[in-house]
Amino acid sequence: MLLPSLTSLRSSAFSRKSLRALSSGSRYGLATIATGAEGFRIPVIDFAKFRTAKSLPEKKATADEIVTAFKESGFIYLAGHGIPTATIQDVFAKSAGFFKMPMEAKSKLAWEDPRSNRGYVAVGRERVTQSADADEIAQLRAKAPDFKESMEIGRDWDSTWKNQWPQESDAPQFKRTMLDFYQTCHDLHVLVMRSIALGLDLEESYFDAKVSDQCHNLRLLSYPPVTRSVLVKEGQARAGAHSEIDYGTVTLLFQDSVGGLEVQNPHNQVFHAAPPIPDTIVINVGDLLSRWSNDVLRSTLHRVVAPPAKKISETETITPARQSIAFFCNPNFSTEVACLPNCAGVNGQAKYPPINTEKYIVGRLAATYH
């Protein structure tokens, strides 16, 4: 039962002082930061060392840090990623403006098809869960839908599946901003996949041709203010605990200052807060990358819970609005995901049969939304 929890937020080893230290002149002086008393760690990794490296051994050092973290927790905070703060702030501002549009205007852009995976998703339509059973998901959605709305954006040059854009007069510069950001995130994805390849002792360019089609999903997320009485229904959460919603290679998550992300320690199943750290991106392993690596890299359960609420009466409180932006990185839809050559283990066995990327992702989307 996924109830919102303030205890887990308070248990975080972070403090305002430590957050300031991470963004101060010492420039990520702490190599790792604990998110729970059990010693579960999500490291802060300075990716500038990889981006500016002059030699392969220099790149390999950072790559090994990343892959080690993905083996242990499945999550990292990426600092020195090269995306300007002003760019991210502008995307957040344009996203907020979109969600403030009248429901009538947003509804004209409604998400319709899992193969397209583009358009506006109203509060309650999606229910993220580990289940792959469409009927079970439908029952969960009816009982306790995820309390959020989103806007889904794919590559804009697709000849079959078209993005759904608001009128320029309703959302000035929205389309241009999101398309530019989509390309920026793809470029970062390529670099991260190169680091993963090196960390797995593959050729640096191993994944390049397997992610070049940019079959990704840019998701703008808005969590409206909500009273606690709504959230404490059985099974209700801001977004359900999940790993399979992150279907692809990795996810780039941009958080606002409100927080609410929790990550499960895979060793004892305890959830721990992963608060926003200035100038970093949260990156986690997706299901297909985990499958590709024969589970050497972890696709870890995570969820979004309600942040601390404000009292509005003797019997009721309300949580603040929250925004986030997720860039779900995928292999090319034509790519066959099969066990990587050096991840089969000592017995040479693959845990999973090969699977086509498009078939897997479209199947998961169909179950999640329908």
The mean per-residue pLDDT over the stretch 124-136 comes to: 48
Proportion of the chain above pLDDT 70, given as a percent = 78
The mean per-residue pLDDT over the stretch 75-86 comes to: 98
Question: Which residues have C-beta within 8 Å of that of residue 203, sequence separation ≥ 6?
Answer: 197
Confirm whether 124 is domain-assigned. Answer: yes
Confirm whether 333 is domain-assigned. Answer: yes
For residue 281, list its beta bridge partners. Answer: 78
Confirm whether 2 is domain-assigned. Answer: no
Per-residue pLDDT at 38:
60
Residue 7 has pLDDT above 90, yes or no: no
**Confidence band of 233 (pLDDT split at 50, 70, 90):** low
Proportion of the chain above pLDDT 90, given as a percent = 58
Q: What is the DSSP letter of 110?
A: B
Please give the Cα distance from 327 to 219 (Å, whole number).
6
- Total domain count, the chain: 1
**Confidence band of 131 (pLDDT split at 50, 70, 90):** very low
Higher pLDDT, 184 or 126: 184
The mean per-residue pLDDT over the stretch 339-365 comes to: 90
Per-residue pLDDT at 103:
94
Instruction: List Cα–Cα distances, 249 to 8, 214, 232, in angstroms.
Output: 28, 12, 33
Per-residue pLDDT at 370:
54
Per-residue pLDDT at 234:
46
Per-residue pLDDT at 236:
52
Mean pLDDT of the chain: 82
Give the containing element (helix H, strand E) for 97: helix 85-99
Confirm whether 98 is domain-assigned. Answer: yes
SS3 250: strand
Residue 209 has pLDDT above 90, yes or no: yes
Contact yes or no for 189/329 (Cβ under 8 A) = yes
Confirm whether 1 is domain-assigned. Answer: no
pLDDT in tens, 132-161: 444 443 444 444 456 789 999 999 998 888
- The whole-angstrom distance between residue 278's C-alpha and the CA centroid of its chain comes to 17
Residue 238 has pLDDT above 70, yes or no: no
Other Cβ atoms closer than 10 A to 320: 17
Confirm whether 208 is domain-assigned. Answer: yes
Length of the chain: 370
Residue 258's domain comprises 7-369
Confirm whether 321 is domain-assigned. Answer: yes
The mean per-residue pLDDT over the stretch 238-267 comes to: 79
Contact yes or no for 238/304 (Cβ under 8 A) = yes
CA atoms within 13 A on the CB side of 298: 20
Residue 306 has pLDDT above 80, yes or no: no
Please give the Cα distance from 128 to 119 (Å, whole number).
17
Burial category of 206 from C-beta neighbours within 10 Å (exposed 0-12, middle 13-18, buried 19 and up):
middle
Per-residue pLDDT at 13:
37
Please give the Cα distance from 62 to 311 (Å, whole number).
45
Contact yes or no for 365/109 (Cβ under 8 A) = no
Confirm whether 281 is domain-assigned. Answer: yes
SS3 51: helix
CATH of the domain at 178: 2.60.120.330
**Confidence band of 9 (pLDDT split at 50, 70, 90):** very low
Per-residue pLDDT at 36:
53
